């Protein structure tokens, strides 16, 4: 079995994340990690809050808190939400950790030793009102490419073009709003990406052939445009400090590393945090995953498309330049954007459904299933409350939830609280078993290739097969003339419920646990279902005690839908009309 290292792009510390952030990295990584664990693989799923850079300092300033205090509180707030979504991180760390500081400084020293970091005098924007040099994100203005008037000095949120602060039109300080800016000389460290470009391209040629088109095309675009040497230090109070033993002058000036330099390194730092957190004599070897990792380690990264260049070009260049055997990504699963009624979710503008409000509104499984069934894999997709309600009602409430409830309720009413025996399986059950085995293989294939929308379709087809079998056999009619036949039908359907509980767990873990707990099977340790087991449908034998769980999925009524639209906003055009 392979050892699977999985990371999802680190969520920024400044504020609660929206559904677009969730489906763009963390949720699909969790679904994949859960699936691989069920299939018997060793999995290490790592994530962390991204706590450095301008957003953290600006958010702390707005909150009136020291930045370290703000980040500590925000980390706990975000972790509570991810726990609510049942994200199964092996470790959810912090980029401000001592482990990340030490490893980031180690990377910088090695790059310097190998001639890939250079100290340069540059001209940088200085704010007269704030009496300080402004890092790129402390400068806002109009993007010269698309005209977006809230573009940051490092990247335009609207068109994703990478920028320099001096590119902005009508630039102003994000701290004071002052446009009294001038350019002065200061010194910074530069990562010499131009010297590593050929190595990065050869690495992508050798390793990126199987990446999704979205990921590979973005990486190729950066390479085609030419890798530029990039400043990797900033003038901030909060960040990984430049080590004084290597750059004493810059350290004395308070320079810290650029957030996009240290944030990917935090995947390694968070893994070391995980290792250092071991208790009761347990030994966790973080280096076996990252440093001289053997061929059994397969590393998969999950991220939205705006993060792709940094993970496919800048971070690999950083790793290659150390001349050390750091594990590099094998597969980049990139996502397009989930929009909200055709417009972007936006943390800064509070547009769309945010994850805390989502959990306050409906259970996590509703969101988990819908988001993955509509994941923006091939193109941007749009969240609407109408589409969400239709998906929940049709797939979860009607197809799965209703099947579970009516099978168990009817069987209890007519046969008592144990799985009925009835007749031996016949032609209908053999046909069903073959159908389930084929659909299960299809589902597994999509999960193995990280095609989540297709996997959700196959999972839905598995649920639908049970309903078709039930409608064909009609045990509520069958029982009038053939009690043993009706008992067989219900026993088979109960075995489908157990199968659904096992294979649905990556998508809807809480509901899967409730389905599985309906049956009193003390020895039930099945992690997955084999093709033979799917054909046999006999994991739950006759005589097994069972209970009827509460309604798994409540339907979203028209009144609910209207209330959600009123609270969160719906189609702007419809509202205007």
Rounded Cα gap, residues 277 and 279, in angstroms: 6
Cβ density class 276-300: b for 16+ within 10 Å, e for less? eeeeeeeebebebbbeebeeebbbb
Measure CA 359 to chain center: 16
Q: DSSP label at 312?
A: I
Taking Cα atoms as reference points, which of 428, 412, 397, 424 lies closest to residue 494? 412
Find out whether 372 and 27 touch, Cβ atoms under 8 Å: yes
Find out whether 70 and 59 touch, Cβ atoms under 8 Å: yes
The residues, any chain, with a CB within 8 Å of residue 56's CB and separated by 6 or more, are: 12, 13, 14, 67, 70, 71, 238
Rounded alpha-carbon distances, angstroms, from residue 286 to 104, 240, 322, 340 = 16, 21, 18, 39
> What SS3 class is residue 262?
helix
Rounded Cα gap, residues 344 and 19, in angstroms: 11
143 is in an annotated binding site: yes
Rounded Cα gap, residues 547 and 540, in angstroms: 13
Find out whether 89 and 35 touch, Cβ atoms under 8 Å: no
Which stretch of DSSP H or E encloses residue 124? strand 117-127
- Taken as a whole, the chain contains a residue count of 577
Q: DSSP label at 11?
A: P
146 is in an annotated binding site: yes
Find out whether 37 and 447 touch, Cβ atoms under 8 Å: no
47 is in an annotated binding site: no
Measure CA 222 to chain center: 24
Q: Residues annotated in the binding site for Zn(2+), as ranges?
A: 143, 146, 156, 159
Q: Residues annotated in the binding site for ATP, as ranges?
A: 347
Q: Residues annotated in the binding site, as ranges?
A: 143, 146, 156, 159, 347
């Amino acid at each position: 079995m392979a050892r699977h290292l999985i990371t999802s792009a680190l969520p920024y510390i400044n504020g609660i994340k929206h559904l677009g952030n969730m489906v763009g990295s963390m949720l699909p990584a969790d679904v994949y990690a859960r699936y691989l664990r069920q299939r018997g693989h060793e999995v290490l799923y790592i994530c962390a809050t991204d706590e450095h850079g301008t957003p953290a300092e600006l958010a702390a300033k707005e909150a009136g808190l020291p930045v370290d205090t703000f980040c500590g509180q925000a980390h706990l707030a975000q972790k509570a939400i991810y726990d609510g979504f049942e994200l199964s991180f092996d470790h959810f760390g912090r980029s401000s950790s001592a482990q990340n500081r030490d490893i980031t400084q180690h990377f910088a020293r090695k790059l310097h030793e190998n001639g890939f970091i250079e100290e340069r005098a540059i001209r940088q924007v200085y704010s007269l009102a704030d009496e300080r040099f402004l890092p790129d994100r402390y400068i806002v203005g109009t993007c010269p490419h698309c005209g977006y008037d809230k573009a940051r000095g490092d990247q335009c949120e609207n068109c994703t073009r990478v920028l320099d602060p001096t590119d902005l039109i009508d630039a102003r300080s994000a701290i004071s709003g002052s446009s009294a800016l001038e350019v002065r000389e200061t010194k910074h460290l530069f990562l010499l990406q131009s010297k590593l470009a050929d190595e990065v391209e050869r690495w992508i040629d050798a390793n990126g052939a199987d990446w999704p088109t979205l990921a590979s095309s973005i990486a190729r675009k950066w390479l085609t445009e030419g890798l530029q040497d990039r400043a990797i230090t900033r003038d901030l109070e909060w960040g990984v400090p430049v080590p004084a033993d290597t750059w004493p002058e810059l350290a004395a000036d308070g320079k810290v590393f650029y957030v996009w330099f240290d944030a990917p390194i935090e995947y390694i730092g968070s893994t070391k945090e995980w290792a250092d957190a071991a208790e009761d004599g347990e030994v966790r070897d973080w280096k076996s995953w990252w440093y001289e990792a053997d061929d059994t380690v397969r590393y998969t990264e999950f991220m939205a498309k705006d993060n792709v260049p940094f993970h496919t070009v800048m971070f690999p260049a950083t790793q290659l330049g150390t001349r050390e055997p750091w594990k590099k990504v094998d597969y980049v699963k990139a996502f397009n954007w989930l929009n909200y009624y055709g417009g972007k979710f936006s943390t800064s503008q509070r547009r769309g459904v945010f994850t805390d409000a989502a959990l306050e509104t409906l259970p996590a499984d509703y969101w988990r299933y819908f988001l993955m069934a509509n994941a923006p894999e091939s193109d941007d997709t749009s969240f609407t409350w109408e589409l969400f309600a239709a998906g929940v009602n049709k797939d979860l409430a009607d197809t799965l939830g209703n099947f579970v409830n009516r099978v168990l309720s009817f069987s209890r009413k007519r046969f008592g609280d144990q799985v009925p025996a009835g007749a031996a399986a016949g032609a209908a059950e053999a046909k069903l078993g073959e159908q389930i085995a084929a659909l299960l293989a299809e589902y597994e294939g999509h999960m193995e290739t990280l095609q989540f929308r297709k996997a959700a379709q196959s999972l839905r087809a598995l649920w639908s097969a049970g309903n078709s079998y039930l409608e064909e056999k009609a045990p509520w009619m069958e029982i009038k003339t053939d009690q043993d036949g009706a008992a067989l039908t219900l026993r088979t359907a109960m075995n489908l419920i157990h199968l659904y509980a096992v294979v649905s767990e990556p998508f809807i873990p809480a509901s899967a646990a409730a389905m599985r707990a309906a049956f009193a099977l003390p020895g039930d340790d099945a992690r997955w279902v084999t093709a033979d087991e799917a054909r046999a449908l006999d994991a739950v034998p006759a005589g097994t005690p069972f209970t009827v769980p509460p309604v798994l999925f409540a339907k979203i009524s028209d009144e609910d839908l209207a209330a959600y639209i009123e609270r969160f906003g719906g189609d702007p055009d419809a509202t205007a009309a």
